[in-house]
Structure 1
Amino acid sequence: MLNDRIEAAIQRHICSAAVQGPAPIGLHKAIDYSVFPGGARIRPVILTSVAKPTVHRQFSETTAVLAGDSLIVGAFSTLTSQVDVDARRACNLVAHLANYTGFPNGICAGQAWEDEATIDLKSYHLSKTGALFIAATQMGAIAAGHDPDPWQELGARIGQAFQIADDLMDVVCADQDMGKPAGQDVKNDRPSAVSEYGVDGAKRLLNDILGGAIASIPSCPGEAELAKMVQLQSTRLMSVDRQATHS
């Protein structure tokens, strides 16, 4: 199965890095804790809590930051390890990952939007959450030797839906259901679909975005299997809609 192959590949790369020489055991444990178990592996198989405390709770905030930095750098290391196989394709993959990680289109820019006086919600969602979903869909196309551009919409839709669902959960779910403290968007004055459109408006937007997700899948081998994966994730995200209706 695809998930088994993904898990094996991640395990192989994480373990190979750990045996290359002496390394801080605490950081190694934090990295391993961050990655395993991986829940649904939504981005790799293109959202839910994996029922354990966050890394900064389990270890420390400093270690969590270092673990995140290490995993980001490790992703680039994994991609460049394929240069001898296909240099052009490997470089294209690195360029795409860099674009959707840094500035101005990546997750770093998305996080920085929270410090702006005026925030464009769509741009915030697209870069904070959508960026890595777009990277996942487009890099999959690149790895298969296809044009990445037709895959942008699918990644953007899934990413935006994920963020809107998270915004709704922050309002309608309890701490234990989320796996993290609820009500943080309002407490920290973060931009959210709920503050922008209200609960009902955010639900309608989530429905609209998910409604077009499957239709946006480009024609390709394995299209039916991918459509099933997207439908499964859509069903999970729609469960937030139902919780919001009954709250």
Structure 2
Amino acid sequence: MSTLTLSTDFVQRLDQTADDTEALLARLLSDQLLPDEIARPRRLMEAIRYSSLAGGKRLRPFLVVESAAVFGVPRDAALLAGAALECIHCYSLIHDDLPAMDNSELRRGRPTLHRAYDDATAILAGDALLTLAFDIITRDEIHADAGVRLLLTRALARASGIGGMVGGQMLDLAGEGRFGDREPVDVARLQQMKTGALLRFGCIAGALLGQASKEQYKALDDYGRALGEAFQIADDLLDVEGDAAALGKPAGADAALNKTTFVTQLGIDGAKKRVGDLLARADKALSIFGEKGDVLRAAARFVAERKN
């Protein structure tokens, strides 16, 4: 990297995007920015706000904003696309925490939504956030070209659905033996779908917004795939080496659920070595952008070194 460090500029940029995303989500969930014809059940809106305005690093919107910045895309447009992605992420956490899935009691240091409210409200709040995401991603303010908005919408749907996050969750449950005998788990494939697909979308969204060349799109795609895998390995390591207070959720959950992870397959030392290899791959992918890729380089380091 040239001038950006994790301790100064990067952290300030990450925090600023988190603040901006929080404020934007709050506005998007206000009466003024929801379609007039939609009735807004009070309990549903409270539950949505409970889960989506709970803070967090907002890494996924940050990746949208910073990948778009490489191409000079207006920040407001990138933030809006990032907010759509964050709605998908928040919905996925609500459903992932449910008793039928991971049965988690804590999320970001607070009771999970189904604990704070009830299962039915949590399911519907997740459903509402999923559909709101596609309301947002198709808005004219994101890009004047409807073709660009279509590409973004299709990419977000694919990252979220059968071949992405939802399909990956199904593979994860099958690997736990939820549907009979435990099925063999291809951890790399599972990660690319369950966790990596949304992170990868955060990277290629900037290329789509910036109408990048095929070479530039491929570079951000390669970077996003490396970053997504590094994120999951770091998450697996935190589940083994972290503590609940820092994580804001129970540690050791993977072992309790008998999950196959990168750590169970590679061991702790092997997993850490793999993260180093992925950082080198991410850096190589960004070489096409020169110093314009510095923030994204720092993001990969942040993902690899995070403590919560």
Query: Which amino acid in structure 1 is aligned with residue 209 of structure 2?
Result: A
Question: Where does 1:95-174 land on structure 2 (aligned, <5 Å)?
Answer: 95-104=154-163, 106-114=164-172, 115-116=174-175, 117-147=183-213, 148-174=217-243
In the superposition, the TM-score normalised over structure 1's length comes to: 0.83
1:5–1:188 Cα change, 3 Å:
closer
Is the contact made by 2:282 and 2:300 (CA closer than 8 Å) also made in structure 1?
no
- More moved, 56-65 vs 133-142: 56-65
Q: 2:130 aligns with which of 72, 83, 93?
A: 72
1:18–1:91 Cα change, 3 Å:
closer
- More moved, 126-135 vs 206-215: 206-215
Report the Cα distance in structure 1 between the residues aligned to 2:154 and 2:38, rounded to whole angstroms.
Answer: 29
Partner of 2:282: 213
Alignment of 1:89 with 2:106, yes or no, is no
CA RMSD of aligned residues (A): 2.7
Q: 2:245 aligns with which of 165, 171, 176?
A: 176
Is the contact made by 2:230 and 2:279 (CA closer than 8 Å) also made in structure 1?
yes
Report the Cα distance in structure 2 between the residues aligned to 1:73 and 1:33, rounded to whole angstroms.
Answer: 17
1:225–1:19 Cα change, 3 Å:
farther
Task: Tell me the CA shift for residue 232 of structure 1.
Answer: 4.9
1:51–1:77 Cα change, 3 Å:
same
Task: Tell me the CA shift for residue 56 of structure 1.
Answer: 3.0
Query: 1:139-179: per-residue Cα shift (whole Å, max 9, x none)?
Result: 12111222433311111122111111111111112222221
1:214–1:94 Cα change, 3 Å:
same
Q: 2:119 aligns with which of 61, 85, 92?
A: 61
Report the Cα distance in structure 1 between the residues aligned to 2:282 and 2:27, rounded to whole angstroms.
Answer: 32
- Could you tell me which runs of 5 or more consecutive residues in structure 1 were left unpaired when the two chains were aligned: none
Task: Tell me the CA shift for residue 81 of structure 1.
Answer: 2.3
Is the contact made by 2:161 and 2:167 (CA closer than 8 Å) also made in structure 1?
yes
- Could you tell me which runs of 5 or more consecutive residues in structure 2 were left unpaired when the two chains were aligned: 1-12, 64-106, 176-182
Report the Cα distance in structure 1 between the residues aligned to 2:293 and 2:131, rounded to whole angstroms.
Answer: 28
Report the Cα distance in structure 2 between the residues aligned to 1:235 and 1:128, rounded to whole angstroms.
Answer: 20
- More moved, 106-115 vs 143-152: 143-152
Q: Secondary structure at the match of 2:34?
A: helix
1:236–1:130 Cα change, 3 Å:
closer
Is the contact made by 1:130 and 1:156 (CA closer than 8 Å) also made in structure 2?
yes
1:30–1:210 Cα change, 3 Å:
farther
Q: Secondary structure at the match of 2:48?
A: helix
Partner of 2:44: 27
Alignment of 1:12 with 2:27, yes or no, is yes
Q: 2:260 aligns with which of 180, 191, 194?
A: 191
Task: Tell me the CA shift for residue 17 of structure 1.
Answer: 2.2
Report the Cα distance in structure 2 between the residues aligned to 1:151 and 1:229, rounded to whole angstroms.
Answer: 10
Partner of 1:231: 298
Higher relative CO (Cα under 8 Å, sequence separation at least 6) belongs to: 2
Query: 1:20-45: per-residue Cα shift (whole Å, max 9, x none)?
Result: 54322222112112222432211111
Query: 1:196-242: per-residue Cα shift (whole Å, max 9, x none)?
Result: 1111111111222123323322644xx646523542552463255xx
1:32–1:219 Cα change, 3 Å:
farther
Task: Tell me the CA shift for residue 7 of structure 1.
Answer: 4.0
Query: 1:79-127: per-residue Cα shift (whole Å, max 9, x none)?
Result: 22229932111111111011111122x1011101121501111101111
Report the Cα distance in structure 2 between the residues aligned to 1:53 and 1:157, rounded to whole angstroms.
Answer: 32
Report the Cα distance in structure 2 between the residues aligned to 1:39 and 1:200, rounded to whole angstroms.
Answer: 28
Query: Which amino acid in structure 2 is aligned with residue 25 of structure 1?
Result: R
Report the Cα distance in structure 2 between the residues aligned to 1:25 and 1:113, rounded to whole angstroms.
Answer: 35
In the superposition, the TM-score normalised over structure 2's length comes to: 0.68
Q: Runs (4+) of structure 1 moved beyond 4 Å?
A: 18-21
Report the Cα distance in structure 2 between the residues aligned to 1:229 and 1:7, rounded to whole angstroms.
Answer: 21
**Aligned residue-pair number:** 236
- More moved, 22-31 vs 129-138: 22-31
